[in-house]
Structure 1
Amino acid sequence: MKRLVVLGGGESGVGTAILGKKEGYDVFVSDMGKIKDKYRDVLNQYEIKWEDEKHTEELILNADVVMKSPGIPDKAPLVKKLLENGISVISEIEFAYPFTNAKTIGITGSNGKTTTTMLTYHLLKEGGLNVGLGGNIGKSFAWQVAEENYDYYVLELSSFQLDGIINYKPDIAILTNISPDHLDRYEYKYENYIASKFRITMNQTEDDFFIYDADDEAISAWLQNNKTKAQLIPFSLLQTFENGAFIKNNTMDIIINNEEFEMKTADISLEGKHNMKNAMAATSVAQLMKIRKQTIRESLSNFQGVEHRLEKVLKIQNVQYINDSKATNVNATFFALDSMTVPTVWIVGGVDKGNDYSELMPLVREKVKAIICLGLDNKKIIDAFSDVVDMMVEVDNMRDAVNTSKHLAEKGDAVLLSPACASFDLFQNYEDRGNQFKAAVKNL
């Protein structure tokens, strides 16, 4: 009996443990932190052995294969030891995919991947396909492979999940864009992070498809210097293609294998240039899957968007409050500021992953009237923008941030929470941060 050790007792870890047990592995789950009660109960129900708040090496180093949760870095001493002992360390996606015959659509990118994943899932589900949603969002892919029977999966894949694949290949891959993010995990080398993202296409064959942003410099440079066997489907706001997706005369136009789909951009529910790209990527998948054009049109016009991503919360005294807590890097905040059409009070800050704020400078000059720093260490933000805006305030909790923003905003302005940073200094995660913002706004 092969031994599967799972490092991390969260959603992906527990899902992998259940699938491993079902497939006849001897399974052991080990978590350095505390395993949540709901996951402990599941592990006990399946009679899976587990430990938390420690890693017992003799119970781990005897593994045939180890699945590590995406949050554990490759540099962790235990992971290094496993690799030195020649033990395969893989991600949940790599472990689960041999146990399903379903086709997968894998979606990665520094920004836009959640919206693109949700929209792709919405299009395929509305189109009548038997489709599951997983990866970085929703229920763990492995758990669904163990308990569900889908024909297709739409998977949001982080670079950390892609780092742990060996043979996995999506039938359709989407790369939404690349901008410097998580560089702390890639030795602060941008090229390492770029290479990690492109792992999504490394095992693809001539029968597979690779959908990508042709306007993105990092992606274009990689494709000039490297090869993928997959059939290429570019999308762009700036150029047109004989085979690909583009915007022309306020119309989204998608031509794949001589099949054309057109829709007025004004009829698409998502707003902003970056969302047109997300819509082109998702619609390209729907076209490859032969979803009816009328269904695609209806789905694009009724899609609700993603929570914590440019989410309009309330309008109070003619000031629009917007929750973009999911913007955990500079590039995401760039899109948010770019989409603002009125003077903006910007709430920013948190745990900085090596941010360079200079690219935001023209947008801040043009659109931002005041900055509220919400973090334990705001020095970089203050150094970057103190000469650019009239008003800068430091706070250390969400209630103060929102109350301050109310005083700084005038009729017709907007208040935008778009932190450009991770949330772990003051919040559990970006959802907690966004929910606290929404609660504080509702209490104004």
Structure 2
Amino acid sequence: MQRIVVLGGGESGCGSAVLARVKGFDVFLSDRGSIAPKYRELLEKWDIPYEEGRHTAGKILSADKVVKSPGIPDKAPMVKAVRERGIPVISEIEFAGAYTSARTICITGSNGKTTTTTLTYEILRQAGVNVGLAGNIGESFALAVATGNYDWYVIELSSFQLDGCYDFRADIGVLMNITPDHLDRYDYELQNYVDSKFRILRNQRPEDRFIYCADDPLTLGNLPKHPLGMQTLPFSVKTCDGCAAMLADGVIRAEVAGKRVEIPVAELKIKGTHNTYNAMAASLAALSAGVGPDAICRTLRAFEGVEHRLEKCGEIDGVTYVNDSKATNVDSVWYALESMTRPVVWIAGGTDKGNDYARLYELAEAKVKTLVCMGVDNGKLLKAFDGRIGKIVDTHSLDEAMAAARRNAGTGDVVLLSPACASFDLFKNYEDRGRQFKEWVAAAQR
């Protein structure tokens, strides 16, 4: 019996372990940290042996194959030891893909992938397609394959998940954009990160489709390096000749194989240029999956967005509070600030990922009245915006940051949590950061 060892006891790892058990492998899971109670319960329900708080070399290095959770870097000592033994290391996506015949829509990119993934899933679901939502959002792809039976999966893929894919193939691959992100995981070399994103093209056939943003410089600059034998479907708000485009009268048009979606951008509930891109990509993906234009337009008109992405969560003393905790890189914040029409008290900071804040200078100078830095070490952020924003406040906890934001915001302003950084210095993850922000707002309203 082949032995599968799973490294990491979160959503991805535990889903992989369950799939390995369902497929009859000898499976063992190891996590160097602690495993959350809900995941321990899942492992025990499926009678999967595991350890936490350590990696026992003897139990791991006996594996025939290792499934590595995406949060574990390749330079981790145990991963290095596994590779030195010649044991294959793959991602959960690669592992799960081998055990389903369902078709896949796989969405990656630095910004917009969660909204586009959720929107695409909702279009297919509301059109009556037997579809699952998986990957870097919701439940893991592996757990969905182990416990479900879908005809289609809509999968959000991070660069970390793509790094461990070799034979996996997307029937419909979507690349939203590429901007500097996670450079700390890629030796601070942007090209390494770009190459990771382009793994979305891996193994695609002539009948498959690749949807990409024709307005994105890094995407366009790297396309010539890759064979494009599949069908390509570009989208653009700057030209009218893409498969999806913004027409002069403010109408989004998307067309695939003679089927056309046309909808005024004013009818979208999700606002801003970034959401126009998201709607275009989702429309092309849904058309490619065989969904009709009318069904696509119905969902586009009704979809209200995702949690932690420009999510309005309350008003206090005439000040609107917006939770954009998912904005963990500079370009995501750029889109958030670009969409603001009122004076902004901007809360930013956390664990820096090699950010270059210069892209934000013009928007910050024009729209931000106060910057509230929230993190253990705000030095880089303070230095970047010194002299560019009228007032900067240095805080080191959510309560400090929220109190400072409230003091500096007046009637008609927006308090925008849009951090540009990872959350791990003060919070468990960006979801925890966003939920604590919303809880503070809700408590202050009472």
Task: Verify the 8 A CA contact 1:127 1:291 in the aligned structure 2.
Answer: yes
Question: Any residues of structure 2 matched to 1:3-22 within 5 Å, and which?
Answer: 3-22=3-22
Q: For residues 35-434 of structure 1, what are the structure 2 equivalents within 5 Å? A: 35-241=35-241, 244-248=243-247, 249-434=249-434
Once the two structures are superposed, what CA deviation does each residue of 1:144-203 show, in whole Å capped at 9, x if it has no partner? 111110000000000000000110011000011100100111111100000000001121
Contact 2:260 2:293 in 1 (8 A): no
Question: How many Å separate the matches in 2 of 1:29 and 1:178?
Answer: 33
8 Å CA contact 1:323–1:417 kept in 2: the answer is yes
CA contact (8 A) 1:244 1:256 kept: yes
For 2:193, give the aligned amino acid: Y
Per-residue CA deviations over 1:277-320 (Å, capped at 9, x if unaligned) read 00000011111122232221110111121111000111222211
Hey, what's the Cα distance between the residues in 2 that align with 1:54 and 1:397?
A: 30
Range that drifts further, 301-310 or 285-294 = 285-294
Taking the aligned partners of 2:25 and 2:407, their CA distance within structure 1 comes to 60
**Matched-pair contact (CA < 8 Å) for 2:259–2:293:** no
Contact kept? 2:251, 2:262, Cα under 8 Å: yes
Are 1:34 and 2:34 an aligned pair? yes
Q: 1:111, 1:176 within 8 Å by CA — same for their partners in 2?
A: yes
1:37 positional shift: 2.2
Query: For 2:400 and 2:147, how far apart are their aligned partners in 1?
Result: 45
CA distance in 2, matches of 1:69, 1:407: 42
Assess if the C-alpha contact under 8 Å between 1:236 and 1:246 holds in 2: yes
Find the residue that maps to 1:99 and give its secondary structure.
coil
Structure 1 CA distance for aligned equivalents of residues 41 and 314 of structure 2: 39
Structure 2 residue 401 is the aligned partner of structure 1 residue 438: no
Partner Cα distance (2:56, 2:127) in 1: 48
Secondary structure at the counterpart of residue 98 of structure 2: helix
RMSD between superposed Cα atoms in Å: 1.1
Per-residue Cα deviation, 1:310-354 (whole angstroms, up to 9, x for no partner): 001112222111110111111111110111111111111111011
Q: Matched residues in 1 for 2:98 and 2:439: separation? A: 43
Deviation of residue 274 (structure 1)? 0.5
State the identity %.
Answer: 52
Contact 1:170 1:204 in 2 (8 A): yes
- Which ranges of structure 2 fall in alignment gaps of 5 or more residues? none
Counterpart AA for 2:273: K
Cα deviations across residues 43-81 of structure 1 (Å, max 9, x unaligned)?
Answer: 222221111111111111111110010011011121112
The structural deviation recorded for 1:383 is 1.1
1:400 Cα deviation (Å)? 2.2
How far the C-alpha of 1:265 sits from its partner, in A, is 0.6
Which residue type is aligned with residue 117 of structure 1?
T
The TM-score normalised by the length of structure 1 is 0.98
User: Structure 1 unaligned runs (5+)?
Assistant: none
TM-score normalised by length of structure 2:
0.97
Distance 2:147 2:389 in 1: 54
Tell whether the 8 Å contact from 2:261 to 2:297 is kept in structure 1 after alignment.
no
Alignment check: 8 A CA contact 2:172 2:288 kept? no
CA distance in 2, matches of 1:188, 1:63: 32
Asked if structure 2 preserves the Cα contact closer than 8 Å seen for 1:399 and 1:437, the reply is no
Is the Cα contact below 8 Å between 1:91 and 1:162 reproduced in 2? yes
Contact 2:310 2:323 in 1 (8 A): yes
Distance 1:145 1:226 in 2: 30
Residue type at the aligned position of 2:343: P
Q: Which amino acid aligns with 2:234?
A: P
Tell me the secondary structure at the aligned position of residue 443 of structure 1: helix
Corresponding pairs, count: 443
Residue 386 (structure 1) shift: 1.7
Q: Secondary structure at the match of 1:346?
A: strand
Letter matched to residue 195 of structure 1: D
Report deviation, 1:270: 0.8
Distance 2:80 2:228 in 1: 30
Instruction: Judge conservation of contact 1:202–1:228 (CA < 8 Å) in 2.
Output: no
**Alpha-carbon deviation of 1:19?**
1.0
Q: 1:244 deviation in Å?
A: 0.8
Separation in structure 1 between the aligned mates of residue 326 and residue 371 of structure 2, nearest angstrom: 18
3-state secondary structure, aligned to 1:74: coil
Q: Secondary structure, in 3 states, of the residue corresponding to 1:170?
A: coil
**C-alpha offsets along residues 71-124 of structure 1, whole Å, 9 cap, x if unaligned?**
110111211121122111000010011111100111100110100000000000
